[in-house]
Structure 1
Amino acid sequence: MKLSFFGAAGTVTGSRYLLENDGVRVLIDCGLFQGLKNLRLRNWAPFPAPPKHISCVVLTHAHLDHSGYLPALVRDGFKGPVYCSDATRDLCEILLPDSAHLLEQDAEYANRRGFSKHKPALPLYNATDAERALKRLSPLHFDRRRTFPEGFSLRLHRAGHIPGAAIVEIDWSGRKIIFSGDLGRYDDPTMMDPSAIMEAHYLVMESTYGDRTHERRDAEEALASIVNRTAARGGTVIIPAFAVGRAQTLLFHLERLKSSRRLVDVPIYLNSPMAIDATETLCRRADDQRLTREEWRRACSVARYVESVDESKAINEDDAPKVIISASGMATGGRVLHHLKKFAPDPRNTILFAGFQAAGTRGAALVGGAQSVKIHGEYVPVRAEVDNLSMLSAHADANELMRWLGNFRRPPRMTFLTHGEPTASDTLRLRIQDELGWRCHVPEMMETSILE
């Protein structure tokens, strides 16, 4: 049996793991590379295994760095099923068409404005590719084992993180392989704790926050302080937020602040069609979360939904204090870029991030103190206040990852650490070896391991 790391090796993006046994190939996650240009270019390279020879795909969750390459895989010949949870299926029905739309829109904008080096600029995939990919989705229930004619069985466990996120368990030829996906936080106000896993022969675990812990500031107090301070000087708060998970968490906290009168009375806008659709989906899937449907409805009602481009332009021209939540969470694309162009140059405003910013993204540059950022081919000065509420991250931090590992009754034969920057992964590797005495390895991109 072979396990190949086609993504999320030495980086937090592009999750793709190929498990092969007796001619059967199972791809766990099929994500987009995001961030640094050299990573994004990998999206354009031929897939390392011929798509038509891949038997099936299993998704841990719907975020694009785990699911966003599916339309290209299907376009290039993949014809098998894509297994995932029910909520992941629902969210992919939002995320994949939206991703295709943004790719097409960005290509059209680049061609119209003439700032692309490619003539013409083309999208990585289009809406038709996304729709074809959606037809391959096959939902599975959590905690129910399913056996396949190819000789393996599959079971999904809840991972927390976002609705539908799964820890994938594969039993095959006497080996149990666990893929953690993205593990969520313990005691999160909206999401369930990640499920405890007791045993595995091999473990593939994320290490996004492997070298750090989340700050202990109270999230609501910090959020209220920033919004109130910005509004007092006549400014606007721009919050780049992931459309699935983070945007809804922010709405939850903002509603609590509003209802308890701890927040100044300013309008709150949710300006992301994808986030709006995802919010409605999350409200329907309260069984996957801690909050009831009514609690989610109340949280979602705190914001005014911005549906059209004209409405988006209108709030950009409004100089009154306000809060705008808009995708993407690392400021890599979407409507938030137009807000940044408008509001970043004014010191009265605040750009507020809410979690991890991958290397090479505008978000990382802004959090790192960049004096200007390039948007749509031009440099925009940054004079606004910039902050990051990292405690709102949906990823387990280093201590929470170690807590999750503490559920294992015995060490796996090998633990592979992926989905982390090199320093984060190696720091966690040393900690696991020193504190638990486990064998631990950080694979490189395109590395293949034999699972004996």
Structure 2
Amino acid sequence: MLTLTSLGGAGTVTGSKHLLAHNDTRILIDCGLFQGLKNLRDLNWEPLPIDPSSIDAVVLTHAHLDHSGYLPRLVREGFRGKIFATAATSDIAELILMDSAHLNEKDAEYANRKGFSKHKPALPLYGSHDAERALEFFTSVPFGEVVRLPGGATLRFRHAGHILGAATADIEWGGRRIAFSGDIGRYDDPVLPDPEAVPEADYVLVESTYGNRVHDPADPTEALGAIVKRTVERGGTLVIPAFAVGRAQSLLYHLWKLKTNGQLANVPIYLDSPMAIDATNLLHAHRADHRLPVEVCTAVCAVATYTRDVEGSKAITASPYPKVVISASGMATGGRVLHHLKAFAPDSKNTILFSGFQSAGTRGRAMLQGAHETKIHGEWIPVQAEVAELSMLSAHADANELMRWLSGFRRAPSRAFIVHGEDDASEALRVRIDRELGWNATIPRMNQSFDL
């Protein structure tokens, strides 16, 4: 009997973990951290419903923290199997997991120094040693190649767009074929390939981040240019909280286009995120995984001034001149961007621009919903700057694009499972799948099991 259980990413847009079990073998598809609301983040500290040492393998669709970030904890708790991922995902996971481990250690150290933790001493969810051990279990799988997994299962990765190396996972096991969407990217993206169709499957797990929304069809370069122009004309600074992997590189592309078209004149652009800098350099290492010709890739990567050290970051904050600052994190939950928000959010001549999904419970979501102040480093900061959003820059497929990907199946699967979405988004996608495709679609609850 083959069973499916979602241990995360069910009823929420974070913490993706989907478990396939057949006889005595267990394969986990994605292994993400819960982010956003505190009640979700607290789940990271709860023991998994199954013993991590009983999991035989992990299949990783891509490296974003909400899909990969629990891996060091899994290893710490006893997992010893292989982690199957594309080569680019393996490289990006190294950046993300080591950074996450460092932040966990810093948070624990800060809690101990300030004495506000209930635990004496406060401990990190995992540390750098755990992340390093997790990276030892990675094995790279080329796109399109069928590889064997434990228990007689097979795996094939196809391009998903979204970020460099992102894949859909086609798993055949126990006479059943299950397609996992991971996170589906955009069609006609200038940097990343289109999401690849999966010809057939008995079951499909599909993300629903934007299951109830359609992105603005406006040209993203023009829309970004208009925001830069009005901000600079006010003498202001444009601060863009950006996901270090994926969003930062797309922003550099559109800013390069504006520079090439003469629309940015001499406005300086700063990429103030060591991880985003490293991720941008990976575009050169994995040229087959994106659309940019070599000369364009080189020009895009050179459009910004890279800032690695803290002193350089402080100099950007101190500068009174108009500029564009791209900095992590994308939902303004941490990272260097918080220092820029403290400096620039109180002044109405500046702009804070969000360019990706903002989860419930994050500063980004609150600011987009009109919050007039935000708490940073224990201090309430007024938000007088213009707050803008460019949804068309999102790396996630919108509702129409999700339906386009699902329409690529040559026959209807026995059932579609709708995951990785907030309740209203998942339900909206379920209704569309039922109405337009006539498929049997289900929104699983956390830890609910299904016989396949």
Same fold (TM over 0.5): yes
Partner of 1:328: 329
Partner of 2:107: 106
CA contact (8 A) 1:178 1:200 kept: yes
CA contact (8 A) 1:115 1:376 kept: no
For residues 121-155 of structure 1, the C-alpha deviation after alignment (integer angstroms, 9 at most, x for no partner) is 43211111110000000011111111245211111
Task: Give secondary structure in 2 for the equivalent of 1:338.
Answer: helix
For residues 2-46 of structure 1, the C-alpha deviation after alignment (integer angstroms, 9 at most, x for no partner) is 110111111110000010001100000000100111111111111
Task: Give secondary structure in 1 for the equivalent of 2:186.
Answer: coil
Partner of 1:412: 413
| d(CA) in 2 for partners of 1:327, 1:442 | 32
Q: Larger deviation: 141-150 or 102-111?
A: 102-111
| d(CA) in 2 for partners of 1:411, 1:279 | 39
Task: Give secondary structure in 2 for the equivalent of 1:101.
Answer: helix
Q: CA deviation at 1:225?
A: 1.2
Partner of 2:264: 263
Residue 14 (1) aligns with residue 15 (2): yes
Partner of 1:361: 362
AA partner of residue 8 (structure 2): G
Q: CA deviation at 1:119?
A: 4.8
Q: CA deviation at 1:108?
A: 2.8
TM-score (norm 2): 0.98
Residue 436 (1) aligns with residue 437 (2): yes
Q: Call closer, same or farther: CA 1:117–1:383 in 2, change over 3 Å.
A: farther
Q: CA deviation at 1:115?
A: 5.4
AA partner of residue 126 (structure 1): G
Residue 235 (1) aligns with residue 242 (2): no
| d(CA) in 1 for partners of 2:369, 2:385 | 13
Gaps of 5+ in 2: none
CA contact (8 A) 1:142 1:155 kept: yes
Q: CA deviation at 1:116?
A: 5.0
Q: CA deviation at 1:105?
A: 2.1
Partner of 1:179: 180
Partner of 1:75: 76
Partner of 1:425: 426
| d(CA) in 1 for partners of 2:61, 2:69 | 12
AA partner of residue 277 (structure 1): D
CA contact (8 A) 2:332 2:362 kept: yes
Identity %: 61
Following superposition of structure 1 onto structure 2, how do residues 293-332 of structure 1 map, counting pairs within 5 Å?
293-332=294-333
Partner of 2:292: 291
Q: Call closer, same or farther: CA 1:38–1:149 in 2, change over 3 Å.
A: closer
| d(CA) in 2 for partners of 1:238, 1:329 | 11
- Alignment coverage as a number of residue pairs: 451
- Give the root-mean-square deviation of aligned CA atoms: 1.2
For residues 92-120 of structure 1, the C-alpha deviation after alignment (integer angstroms, 9 at most, x for no partner) is 11111011112222333344455555554
| d(CA) in 2 for partners of 1:392, 1:150 | 41
Task: Give secondary structure in 1 for the equivalent of 2:8.
Answer: coil
| d(CA) in 2 for partners of 1:148, 1:368 | 45
Q: Call closer, same or farther: CA 1:119–1:149 in 2, change over 3 Å.
A: closer
Partner of 2:45: 44
| d(CA) in 1 for partners of 2:448, 2:175 | 23
| d(CA) in 1 for partners of 2:16, 2:56 | 18
For residues 263-309 of structure 1, the C-alpha deviation after alignment (integer angstroms, 9 at most, x for no partner) is 24221110111001000012221110111232111001011111111
CA contact (8 A) 2:204 2:417 kept: yes
Following superposition of structure 1 onto structure 2, how do residues 360-399 of structure 1 map, counting pairs within 5 Å?
360-399=361-400
Partner of 1:213: 214
TM-score (norm 1): 0.98
Residue 402 (1) aligns with residue 379 (2): no
| d(CA) in 2 for partners of 1:29, 1:193 | 21
